[in-house]
């Protein structure tokens, strides 16, 4: 079972399992599935340098954002300011431990972990192949759980509501945080899933003839997980439509799925 076929020519759609013949792609061009419109792959002229540069600068901006005050508020002559690292402490103090934990995980740690993983995988750091594959799976699963830009949007919305109570301003770390949000999104965008998996483990040679426009399962070539899910669904459907047989009654069923 394989996900991609004849590395430079064929690819399976991860959504509808359609086998697609890839055309030659130029810089920043995308290949989309003709059936469901899912983006299959994107071509970049510098697939290692671009994500490395964006990830390094994004991590540096994250460091700067955590060193200086983030926002300040002045009400009735009393002013106060807060840093990003102080936000979880305030939430824990006010008995919002769950929100403080979520802030640490999804706003700070998850984006930083994904950026470090990009640096390790893109630059071919010497690691076991299994560890590389594990990190790649974690990366593609966790990159949608980074909430740095969502936190920034919430802060901007709160500015509008708090302006009626006093003077609201941004600190020295606000601009680095905005740059971090933009750069980490750009780093994720420049890492193509298909290119990264090809770089981790070269594609096996498929000797059987492939037919573009036909689902991979019909050709006996599909992702292992997809085939496993299909078998599980078929097994559940067979169990659902098969009537229960009383004990002691022999049946003529044979094979892998027995009644």
Where are the domains positioned within the chain?
Answer: 1-43+214-219, 49-191
Maximum distance among all Cα pairs of the chain, rounded to whole angstroms: 88
Mean pLDDT, the chain, rounded, equals 78
Reference 116, options 39, 40, 63, 175; nearest CA is 63
pLDDT tens column, 11-42: 777 778 777 777 777 777 777 788 787 777 77
77: confidence class by pLDDT, cuts 50, 70, 90:
confident
**pLDDT higher than 80, residue 96:** yes
Read off the pLDDT of residues 143-194 as tens digits, 9 standing for 90 and up: 889 899 999 999 888 888 877 777 888 889 999 999 999 999 999 988 888 8
Neighbours of 6 (CB within 10 A): 14
Q: pTM to 2 decimals?
A: 0.73
First to last CA, the chain: 29
**In a 3-state reduction of DSSP, which class is residue 35?**
coil
Per-residue pLDDT of 183-217, as tens digits, reads: 999 999 888 888 888 888 776 666 667 766 667 66
How many whole angstroms separate alpha carbon 194 and alpha carbon 7?
9
């Amino acid at each position: 079972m394989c996900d991609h076929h004849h590395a430079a020519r064929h690819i399976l759609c991860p959504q509808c399992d359609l086998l697609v013949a890839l055309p030659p792609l130029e810089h920043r061009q995308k290949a989309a599935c003709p059936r469901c419109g899912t983006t299959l792959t994107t071509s970049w002229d510098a697939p290692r340098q671009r994500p490395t540069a964006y990830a390094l600068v994004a991590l540096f901006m994250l460091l700067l954002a955590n060193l200086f005050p983030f926002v300040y508020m002045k009400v009735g002559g009393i002013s106060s300011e807060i840093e990003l690292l102080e936000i979880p402490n305030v939430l824990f103090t006010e008995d919002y431990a769950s929100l403080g934990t979520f802030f640490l995980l999804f706003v700070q740690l998850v984006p930083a972990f994904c950026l470090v993983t990009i640096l390790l995988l893109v630059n071919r750091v010497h690691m076991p192949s299994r560890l590389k594959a594990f990190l790649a799976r974690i990366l593609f699963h966790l990159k949608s759980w980074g909430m740095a830009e969502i936190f920034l949007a919430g802060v901007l919305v709160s500015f509008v509501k708090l302006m009626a109570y006093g003077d609201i301003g941004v600190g020295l770390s606000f601009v680095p945080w905005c740059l971090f949000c933009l750069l980490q999104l750009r780093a994720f965008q420049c890492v193509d899933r298909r290119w990264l998996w090809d770089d981790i483990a070269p594609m096996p040679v498929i000797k059987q003839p492939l037919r573009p426009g036909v689902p991979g399962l019909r050709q006996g070539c599909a992702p292992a997980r997809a085939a496993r899910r299909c078998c599980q669904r078929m097994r559940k459907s067979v169990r659902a439509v098969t009537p229960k047989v009383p004990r002691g009654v022999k049946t003529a069923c044979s094979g892998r799925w027995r009644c």
